[in-house]
């Protein structure tokens, strides 16, 4: 199975869109739904949290800590003002039958 490379910009957009759709997701579901790997992509999620695009909440559940994320208003605006126009200008899916130039 060949995995396509996904630009970090599109990874960020996918995270924001999923959180906007679901409201709040735990870390496991967020990574799974986005097709991400915790070891490889945690830095992106942490950076988005630090910059205020998503909110991270840690809750104790028995002896485990459950990490949940939700999109912030800043994240919604960033998606609308930056990421949506970016994908419109540079679509991630190439048209069928077109060769790379």
Instruction: Give 53-85 pLDDT, tens digit per residue.
Output: 999 999 998 999 999 999 999 999 999 999 999
Report the alpha-carbon distance of residue 99 to residue 101 in Å, rounded.
Answer: 6
Confidence of residue 4 (pLDDT cuts 50, 70, 90): low
Report the alpha-carbon distance of residue 36 to residue 30 in Å, rounded.
Answer: 8
Quick one: pLDDT at residue 94? 58
Confidence of residue 100 (pLDDT cuts 50, 70, 90): very low
The structure's pTM equals: 0.81
| Domains in the chain, CATH or no CATH each | 8-89 (1.10.10.10)
Nearest residue to 82 via CA among 10, 31, 30: 10
Kindly report, residue by residue over 32-53, the tens digit of the pLDDT: 999 999 899 999 999 999 999 9
Average pLDDT rounded to a whole number, residues 8-34:
94
Asked whether the predicted pLDDT for residue 1 surpasses 90, the reply is no
Q: Cα angle vertex 11, ends 20, 15, to 5°? A: 20
């Amino acid at each position: 199975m060949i995995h396509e490379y996904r630009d970090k910009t599109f990874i960020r957009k996918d995270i924001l869109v999923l959180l906007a759709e679901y409201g709040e997701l735990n870390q496991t579901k967020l990574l799974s739904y986005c097709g991400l790997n915790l070891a490889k992509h945690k830095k992106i999620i942490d950076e988005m949290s630090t910059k205020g695009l998503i909110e991270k909440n840690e809750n104790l559940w028995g002896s485990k800590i459950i990490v949940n994320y939700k999109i912030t208003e800043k994240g919604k605006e960033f998606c609308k003002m930056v990421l949506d126009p970016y994908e419109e200008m540079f679509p991630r899916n190439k048209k069928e039958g077109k060769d790379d130039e």
